[in-house]
């Protein structure tokens, strides 16, 4: 009787699976490569998930697929599909989570997958005839008649709804963690930028030049790593005092790199900081590259 009920259930759910494929099959999205690729991967997983409904599960290979570890593996992530409703050009997107509850046998797993398929149809806006739904309920009940634990579609539907709710909460929690991590990362970047600005603008100790005196544009000045930070203010004041003798107007729009010595910065015949005007901290000479 259970085998007859399973055969009847298979005949009842096949049209539902066909309607799902008519919504999401990748061949219908040939001009939309992103959706096509996403749906292709999801269709392959969906077919794996629905194998207990449509294939003989008595072979050794099939029995292995009924194991808790295999079922946990294939239900670990939701399937994500894009689809269009009939007569609607708008592209919809669904992330559907399958029930991860461990089952005690094939009838329970088949009931579980039937409930998942019905819920997926609802998510894809596929209408189900009430008489068909009633026949499916009867077939599931008959299929589990000899099972130690009663099998009903209603219980499987409740389990499926709970599983989808839990999966949605897990996705929300993951998105929240990612937002917090992104915010923390942004905070680190801002702190680094603030630190670099402090190094660049040298604090409050720099003495401002007098009225009419040239002043180096602080926003374009950088210090080489081997220039001691405690000397920044003194070096800046010294550069300001020498600007009238350095033809500053001819290179004032270029970035400046203060180096410990020009010999070190030009070692090997190539400038260590190409694109910068390099000024030694002692300002005895100036070299532009």
**What are 99-114's pLDDT values in tens digits?**
777 777 788 888 888 8
Residue 180: count other Cβ atoms within 10 Å of its Cβ. 10
pLDDT reported for residue 285: 44
Classified as helix, coil or strand, 207 is coil
Classified as helix, coil or strand, 31 is coil
Taking CB atoms within 8 Å and a gap of at least 24, the contacts of 32-37 are 32/82, 32/91, 35/82, 35/91
Classified as helix, coil or strand, 57 is coil
pLDDT bracket for residue 39 (50, 70, 90): very high
d(CA 265, CA 228): 16
CA neighbor of 118 nearest in space, from 88, 158, 66 = 158
d(CA 207, CA 236): 8
Q: Could you tell me if residue 212 is left (phi over 0), alpha (psi between -120 and 50 degrees) or otherwise beta? A: left
More confident residue, 271 or 184: 271
pLDDT digits (tens, 9 = 90+) for 72-81: 777 778 888 9
Q: Could you tell me if residue 151 is left (phi over 0), alpha (psi between -120 and 50 degrees) or otherwise beta? A: beta
Highest mean pLDDT among 150-159, 253-262, 276-285: 253-262
pLDDT reported for residue 16: 93
pLDDT reported for residue 21: 93
Mean pLDDT of the chain: 76
Where does residue 33 rank: exposed (0-12), middle (13-18), buried (19+ CB within 10 A)? exposed
pLDDT digits (tens, 9 = 90+) for 198-211: 444 444 444 455 55
The residues near 32 (Cβ < 8 Å, ≥ 6 apart) are 82, 91
DSSP class of residue 213 equals -
Query: Structure pTM?
Result: 0.55
Instruction: Count H helices and E strands in the chain, helices first.
Output: 10, 6
pLDDT reported for residue 162: 66
Asked whether 82 and 92 are in contact (CB, 8 A), the reply is yes
More confident residue, 64 or 106: 106
CA neighbor of 261 nearest in space, from 240, 244, 277, 285 = 285
């Amino acid at each position: 009787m259970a085998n007859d009920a399973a055969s009847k259930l298979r005949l009842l759910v096949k049209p539902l699976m066909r309607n799902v494929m008519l919504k999401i099959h990748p061949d219908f999205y040939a001009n939309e490569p992103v959706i096509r690729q996403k749906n292709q991967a999801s269709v392959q997983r969906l077919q794996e998930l629905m194998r207990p409904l449509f294939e003989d599960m008595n072979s050794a290979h099939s029995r292995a697929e009924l194991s808790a570890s295999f079922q946990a593996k294939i239900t670990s992530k939701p399937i994500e599909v894009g689809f269009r409703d009939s007569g609607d050009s708008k592209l919809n997107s669904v992330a559907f989570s399958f029930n991860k509850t461990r089952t005690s046998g094939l009838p329970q797993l088949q009931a579980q997958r039937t409930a998942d398929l019905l819920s997926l149809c609802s998510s894809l806006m596929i209408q189900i005839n009430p008489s068909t739904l009633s026949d499916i309920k009867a077939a599931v009940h008959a299929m589990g008649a000899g099972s130690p634990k009663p099998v009903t579609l209603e219980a499987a539907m409740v389990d499926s709804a709970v599983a989808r709710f839990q999966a949605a909460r897990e996705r929300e929690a993951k998105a929240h963690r990612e937002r917090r991590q992104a915010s923390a990362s942004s905070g680190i970047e801002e702190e680094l930028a603030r630190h670099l600005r402090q190094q660049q603008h040298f604090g409050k100790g720099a003495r401002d030049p007098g009225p009419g005196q040239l002043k180096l544009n602080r926003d374009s000045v950088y210090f080489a790593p081997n220039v001691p930070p405690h000397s920044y203010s003194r070096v800046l004041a010294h550069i300001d005092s020498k600007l009238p003798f350095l033809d500053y107007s001819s290179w004032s729009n270029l970035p400046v790199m203060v180096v410990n010595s020009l010999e070190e910065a030009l070692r090997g015949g190539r400038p260590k900081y190409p694109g910068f005007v390099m000024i030694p901290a002692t300002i005895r000479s100036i070299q532009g590259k």
